Structure 1
Amino acid sequence: MLKRFDMSRIYYRAIVQWDVARPANALMLADGWGWFTSVEALRRGAAPEVISTSDIPMQAHEALIAPRTLMPGPRPQIMGIVNTTPDSFSDGGLHAVAVDAIAGGMAMAQAGADILDIGGESTRPGAQTVDPAEEVARTVPVIAGLRAAGFDGPISIDTRKADVARAALAAGANLINDVSGFTFDPALASVAVENKVPVCVMHGPVDPATMHIDPRYDDVLLDVYDFLEARIDALEAQGIARESIIVDPGIGFGKTLEHNLALLARLSLFHSLGVPVLLGASRKRFIGTIGKVEAPRDRMAGSIAVALAGIAQGVQIVRVHDVAETAQAIALMRASVAGN
């Protein structure tokens, strides 16, 4: 059955600017660091149209300017990636032993990571599902060890499974990050509700093992937006407040290079959902393809470039492998734009 789309619906994307010369009529995006005076009106099957902020509906206006209370502050947050797996696409095996993962996480925190994201199941293309007990064994000692070592910032458990999330939260995690957008395990949302923790909802396929095989979309930007909007509505219906939800468009998950670039070019559309936006593009294949770099570990420069491009569109969180270098780049970008 073909999916039916609302061809008449209009989506509003803030055209974000950072310039020090801000007009009096400019609106601040999500009470953050970017401002805008125009938006791009998007429709399926029609050419985009640039219009004034004075011409958008009040609901769209409020979603774009409302503060993101979950991620407040005048600067983007850095989420450091700690993969406790032997087979992750970029750093498989680097943190497979708990003591190494704890040391790596603490080093990231000292280098500028605001959040640490702990994962025990690889979601690279072709990866196989890991047994929940094995995933718990990989992640829980690391989370407990980070807390024992003194890390008091947010710790995210990167999992699709309720049993893993429950064990991770008991060990000290306080954010659930699900690459399937809470579609893999129907019980996972209940774990978040029971423990009163925020969640990150990513646009991604249920099965990473096959996500790379001929992915297709009607309009990748609007399809991803509709998916995330529907998942927010579903999670709200299950008892998770919108103020406790982060969205991630899922760069590199079930998407071609062209799909990834289409999402990045208009990333600020996702602010219209009224929640914080996370960008996780670090070391992804498309960076290596465009930058002509084969090994994922050599894609740092390209990863930082994409992260800064996302921040220029108002992204509140960047999920990265190279924390110190990203923190330095963000500091210089902000100082250069602010003029001091």
Structure 2
Amino acid sequence: MSSQGSLPPEPLACGRFTLTFERPLVMGILNATPDSFSDGGRYIAFGDALRRAEQMMLDGVDIIDIGGESTRPGAPPVPLDEELERVIPLVEKLKDANVPLSIDTYKPEVMRAALAAGADLINDIWGFRMPGAIDAVRGSDCGLCVMHMLGEPQTMQVSEPDYVDVVREVREFLAERCAELEAAGVAKARISVDPGFGFGKAVLEHNYALLSHLPETAPEVAAGVAPYPILAGMSRKSMLGALVNRPAPERVAASVAAAVCAAERGAAIIRVHDVAPTVDALKVWAAMRDALAGGAFRHEMH
């Protein structure tokens, strides 16, 4: 059992920003790729990607996560130069928009270039395991998101993922990665964690075990120490499609439901394709939470 207790996460140091978690923050996905599982090709053109970012900001996004390489199961790797061409101009154009910019990459060269261009957070599906990844971020002030992945995108769902205890094994992996980052001089205040929904997990069994035990996926901390912020990314994924039997673009309602479940289970950041409905749903959830905390429902409950 994790020793997280009821403490909320401390603020996350995130480049030019300090993120606080009085409510879950919404991270909007900006896929500058031709082959994303959900919206591949829609925002590969620079102008389309900018318009998408502008719409997300109007919809109330808290963080924009820019990706130049698809990480869907079976996705082929993208050459370094091509990934740089997709993401760096977007960072340069959006860096003055007063919204934190995250880069979804595992390549140290992209990390360095993105940070130099003005990115605030590095979101790494490999958990900073690639040679040079820790060196690329250790001397900066950017935030980090450390994700768990079993295998790699090309092979992670080819054979049935196998765990004895998926929650414990994810937590232990994330603890090891956080410890290595902190040993290299990265402050705990810069680190968030992601259990990696859909990345080497059985569609229903493992993903819903992680969701139901979300607080326990974060590395254990000493009593009285705030837990690491948890990022939950389930938007439009197969774990939802397996239940609702709809293709990825039609999983908006399921994705919003998953976002509310993640908020209820303690997610600090929720990564989504559909910003506006998620923001709306979380406002309703937060109003209910605040009313309960203030005793507004006491009469009705008795």
TM-score between the two structures when normalised by the length of structure 2: 0.88
Give the CA deviation at 1:29: 2.9
Q: Aligned residue for 1:29? A: 7
Residues 73/262 of structure 1: CA separation in 2 closer, same or farther (3 Å cut)? closer
Deviations 1:16-35 (A, max 9, x none): xxxxxxxxxxxx431xxxxx
Question: How many angstroms apart in 1 are the aligned matches of 2:10 and 2:275?
Answer: 26
Per the alignment, in what secondary structure is the counterpart of residue 105 of structure 1?
helix
- Indicate conservation of the 8 Å contact 1:156/1:174, yes or no: yes
Residues 223/335 of structure 1: CA separation in 2 closer, same or farther (3 Å cut)? same
Where in structure 1 do 4 or more consecutive aligned residues deviate above 6 Å?
A: none
Give the CA deviation at 1:130: 0.9
Residues 69/96 of structure 1: CA separation in 2 closer, same or farther (3 Å cut)? closer
2:172 corresponds to which letter in structure 1? D
Question: How many angstroms apart in 1 are the aligned matches of 2:46 and 2:286?
Answer: 35
Residues 86/161 of structure 1: CA separation in 2 closer, same or farther (3 Å cut)? same
For the pair 1:85 / 2:33, whether they are aligned, the reply is yes
Deviations 1:233-278 (A, max 9, x none): 0111112111100000000001112110110111111354521100
Q: Aligned residue for 2:152? A: 207
Q: Aligned residue for 1:172? A: 118
Deviations 1:164-187 (A, max 9, x none): 11111122211111001111x221
1:263 corresponds to which letter in structure 2? L
Question: How many angstroms apart in 2 are the aligned matches of 1:157 and 1:69?
Answer: 16
Name the structure, 1 or 2, with higher relative contact order (CA <8 Å, separation 6+): 2
Q: Aligned residue for 1:67? A: 10
Whose radius of gyration is greater, 1 or 2?
1
For the pair 1:308 / 2:286, whether they are aligned, the reply is no
Q: Aligned residue for 2:195? A: 249
Question: How many angstroms apart in 2 are the aligned matches of 1:73 and 1:306?
Answer: 19
Stretches of structure 1 that go unaligned for 5 or more consecutive residues are 1-9, 15-27, 31-65
- Indicate conservation of the 8 Å contact 1:96/1:138, yes or no: yes
Question: How many angstroms apart in 2 are the aligned matches of 1:279 and 1:90?
Answer: 17
The 5-angstrom pairing of residues 8-157 of structure 1 reads 11-12=2-3, 14=5, 28-30=6-8, 67-70=10-13, 71-147=19-95, 150-157=96-103
Give the CA deviation at 1:12: 3.6
Counterpart pick for 1:268 among 209, 215, 238? 215
Question: How many angstroms apart in 2 are the aligned matches of 1:13 and 1:173?
Answer: 30
Per the alignment, in what secondary structure is the counterpart of residue 288 of structure 1?
helix
For the pair 1:330 / 2:282, whether they are aligned, the reply is yes
Structure 1 stretch displaced more, 234-243 or 316-325 = 234-243
For the pair 1:286 / 2:239, whether they are aligned, the reply is yes
Deviations 1:266-299 (A, max 9, x none): 1111354521100000000110111121x10100
Counterpart pick for 1:195 among 140, 146, 151? 140
2:215 corresponds to which letter in structure 1? S
Give the CA deviation at 1:69: 4.5
Question: How many angstroms apart in 1 are the aligned matches of 2:200 and 2:21?
Answer: 32
Superposed CA RMSD: 1.6
Deviations 1:27-56 (A, max 9, x none): x431xxxxxxxxxxxxxxxxxxxxxxxxxx
Question: How many angstroms apart in 1 are the aligned matches of 2:117 and 2:46?
Answer: 14
Structure 1 stretch displaced more, 165-174 or 222-231 = 165-174
Residues 270/215 of structure 1: CA separation in 2 closer, same or farther (3 Å cut)? closer
Stretches of structure 2 that go unaligned for 5 or more consecutive residues are 14-18, 222-226, 297-302
- Indicate conservation of the 8 Å contact 1:175/1:197, yes or no: yes
Give the CA deviation at 1:143: 1.3
Deviations 1:111-151 (A, max 9, x none): 0111000000000000011111110001111111222xx41
Q: Aligned residue for 1:225? A: 171
Give the CA deviation at 1:195: 2.2
Question: How many angstroms apart in 2 are the aligned matches of 1:13 and 1:197?
Answer: 24
Deviations 1:315-340 (A, max 9, x none): 11000000001000001111133238
Question: How many angstroms apart in 1 are the aligned matches of 2:105 and 2:65?
Answer: 10
